[in-house]
């Protein structure tokens, strides 16, 4: 099955104005903003769309849009996925939430998002090419089986080194599932052959990086690094090129 016709990452934040400048340094552009039903801003770097919302909660999840949500909801329930009603019902937009075995929450919103599919799809990411939203998990097998039912397919085998991990996608969002405690929250993961130059430019723009747990470069340059946005969103930047 396909969860929706368009998708985005959704984050609940304390202050959009505090977070937005950080995302802009990473190449994200503002493509939508409003105050109803609460203050929110939609941004994109041409690879992925993110909505920052001030709804009084702090969280991260994935959101799909489908004009036939009720039909897709029935499909999910037939697969054994428990759907939760939420109080976010605005106009003709209705939302249901589901949670995977690792506790990662996602939602489907009843909305015709046809205009979003063609909205700013040329990458202008400052950190390189987005490879995945890396998600730490405790039971890789259970998580993989769950997302398989929802239409996700492997983009690579299940690797066992340095721990068990794999990458899956539904064509709209790409998740990397990592059975590790090296990191503890989902991370936007970018790759670039010129990562050292990109990291240097981001540092010059005021982005602070750390290297804890990152593989060091043989020549001593900073080529693999971690940055964290004011809302807690983690960014991984690695030297390399996606195949």
Is 23:103 a contact under the CB 8 Å cutoff?
Answer: no
The pTM (predicted TM-score) of the whole model is 0.93
Residues of the chain with pLDDT under 50: none
Token pair belonging to 208: 């602070």
Is 8:225 a contact under the CB 8 Å cutoff?
Answer: no
User: Which of the listed CATH numbers 2.30.40.10, 1.10.287.180, 3.40.50.2300, 3.10.180.10 matches domain 129-239?
Assistant: 3.10.180.10
* Sequence spans of domains, the chain: 6-117, 129-239
Token pair belonging to 78: 């037939």
How confident is the model over 68-81, as pLDDT tens digits? 888 888 999 999 99
What integer pLDDT is reported at residue 216 of this predicted model? Answer: 83
Q: Which residues contact 34 (CB under 8 A, 6 or more apart)?
A: 40
CATH code for 6-117? 3.10.180.10
What integer pLDDT is reported at residue 70 of this predicted model? Answer: 83
Is 61:13 a contact under the CB 8 Å cutoff?
Answer: no
What integer pLDDT is reported at residue 93 of this predicted model? Answer: 67
Evaluated on CA atoms 57, 60, 65, 70, the torsion sign reads negative
What integer pLDDT is reported at residue 85 of this predicted model? Answer: 77
What integer pLDDT is reported at residue 37 of this predicted model? Answer: 85
**6-117 and 129-239 share one fold:** yes
Is 188:235 a contact under the CB 8 Å cutoff?
Answer: yes
E strand or H helix that includes residue 23:
helix 16-25
């Amino acid at each position: 099955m396909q969860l929706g016709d368009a998708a985005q990452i959704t984050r609940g934040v304390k202050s959009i104005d505090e977070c937005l400048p950080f995302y802009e340094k990473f190449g994200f552009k503002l493509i939508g903003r409003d105050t109803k039903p609460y203050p929110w801003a939609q941004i994109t770097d041409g690879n992925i769309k993110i909505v920052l919302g001030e709804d009084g909660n702090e969280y991260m999840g994935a959101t799909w849009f489908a004009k036939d949500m009720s039909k897709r909801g029935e499909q999910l329930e037939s697969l054994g996925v428990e759907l939760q009603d939420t109080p976010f019902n605005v106009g003709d937009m209705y939302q249901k939430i589901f949670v995977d075995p690792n506790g990662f929450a996602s939602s489907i919103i009843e909305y015709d998002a046809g205009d979003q599919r063609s909205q700013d799809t040329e990458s202008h990411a400052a950190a390189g090419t987005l490879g995945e939203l890396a998600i730490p998990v405790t039971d890789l097998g259970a998580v993989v089986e769950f997302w398989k039912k929802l239409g996700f397919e492997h983009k690579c085998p299940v690797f066992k080194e340095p721990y068990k991990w794999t990458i899956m996608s539904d064509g709209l969002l790409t998740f990397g599932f990592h059975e590790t405690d090296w990191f503890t929250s989902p991370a936007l993961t970018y790759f670039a052959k010129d990562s050292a130059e990109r990291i240097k430019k981001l540092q010059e723009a005021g982005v602070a990086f750390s290297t804890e747990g990152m593989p060091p470069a043989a020549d001593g340059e900073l080529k693999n690094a971690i940055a964290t946005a004011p809302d807690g969103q983690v960014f991984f930047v690695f030297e390399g090129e996606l195949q």
